Amino acid sequence: MDIIIKQLKPRLGRICRSILGFIARLSPIKTSRFGYPDKITESAPWLKKGGILPHYVSAVHILPEREIRPNRQPERVKDTDPLLLASNYLWKPKQRHVVTLQNARVCRALDIVGPDNAILWELSIRWNASPSKHPLLRYPVLPPKCHLAGKTLFLCVDSSDNYFHWILDLLPKLKVMEDSGIDILGFDHYLVYTLQKEFQRETLKSWGIPLERVVETLRHHNIETETLVVPSWADQSGFFDENDVKRVREVLLATVPEKTSTFPKRIFMGRRKTAGRRIINWQEISDILERNGFTAVELESLCFRDQMLIFHQAQAVVGIHGAGLTNLLFCKTGTKVLELVNPNWSHWMYWNLASSLHLDYHYLFGEVELFDKNTYNDTEANRRIQDFRIDIQAFESVLKSWNKRLCQTTH
């Protein structure tokens, strides 16, 4: 009975919010808190050249289109491993733009609402949400409003409390600003979802942004702005333009003097402290790596600057798919990379990153065991974090080939 009640509580909460939200949207009474917003604008034709701007949009800066980049397939360790992307895939860069809004709001941390009471969908897209079922429409009452005078730069992206999404989704928006010719430092306020983690504070300081001007939308769910500047994403999450990632890399590494440190040249990360997506035969893999001169690193115990340096000085990196591989951004051209992939959650993001930086990238799919339905609910989310086993023979073969090439490079 307790389990049933625990499962029903969040569902009942969502149902109650939806009912109250429906009543609030039908009510003729509208305030800055009640029944706000009550509709959604799904398309924005004014984001294209020649479009007629709404009264609350003072400027739209559309950046030049970028060329389609042919896809380069990564190196598979085993011929039987699936391809991360179809061989005929072409990377199609998204159109970048910067929009300036007057009297807009930022509600529930991520969503931009115009003065006409409508959510601007194309400026505030959420993961796994559709316009008609936007979560903000279920909230009939918002907290008291917080007013920001002057110019505010909107840097929020979904999931930016995650290391990958902050470094490779949020920071490239600053490159979009640079490419538009707008001074990044000419703002009174900067909106981010949260600023609680060291890497978030350090990276903003690297771009020269004063932390005292940063406002966390996680703490303020009903922000009213005088002028809001909204840069688009640099690209679809997980796809990268070479110039974008190199600019982010350049800015972040510029603040770190290169040490004559004793950081190891060959490193591996095992996700031993995580709750899932671990290697079942990890001890055997670990022994093989140590025999081949690799050193285990626990990124959780390193400050952001040391994470940058340890990857910048590495010649070879082995790691399980996870946010820690975001640090490939700091590797030098030609660094060897082996990503160990859970077959239930294979993604091309780190291959795309490695490809943009001209790293020597390889990947090896693991093997999952029969899903234990008695321990976990059989859902996509749980399958993504399922532990897996690595083929020892295939793993040793790639290290053997690496050793030959690394020795040739050294000599």
Determine the pLDDT at residue 324.
93
- CATH 3.40.50 residue window(s) in the chain: 266-410
Determine the pLDDT at residue 167.
97
pLDDT in tens, 251-307: 999 988 766 567 899 999 875 666 667 888 989 999 999 999 999 998 888 999 999
Q: Is the peptide bond before 10 cis (omega within 30 degrees of 0)?
A: no
Full pLDDT tens readout for the chain, 411 residues: 555 555 566 677 667 766 776 777 677 777 777 767 878 998 888 888 777 899 999 999 999 988 877 667 788 999 889 888 765 566 788 899 999 999 999 998 899 999 988 999 999 878 878 888 888 887 778 888 899 999 999 999 999 999 999 999 999 999 999 999 999 999 999 999 999 999 999 999 999 999 999 999 999 999 999 999 999 999 989 989 999 999 999 999 998 876 656 789 999 987 566 666 788 898 999 999 999 999 999 888 899 999 999 999 999 999 999 899 999 999 999 999 999 998 888 888 999 999 999 999 999 999 887 655 445 555 656 667 788 899 999 999 999 988 866 665 554
Determine the Cα–Cα distance for residues 282 and 278; give it in Å rounded to an integer.
8
- Tell the residue number behind the tokens 């995580």, with chain if given: 274
Overall fold of domain 266-410? Rossmann fold (3.40.50)
Determine the pLDDT at residue 411.
42
Give which of 401, 395, 361 is closest to 74, Cα–Cα.
Answer: 361
User: 79, exposed or middle or buried, with CB in 10 Å at 0-12, 13-18, 19+?
Assistant: exposed
User: 99, exposed or middle or buried, with CB in 10 Å at 0-12, 13-18, 19+?
Assistant: buried
Give which of 74, 75, 67 is closest to 91, Cα–Cα.
Answer: 67
Contacts of 90 (CB under 8 A, 6+ apart): 68, 69, 70, 71
Determine the Cα–Cα distance for residues 403 and 118; give it in Å rounded to an integer.
59
Determine the Cα–Cα distance for residues 85 and 90; give it in Å rounded to an integer.
10
Both tokens of 247, joined, read 């600019």
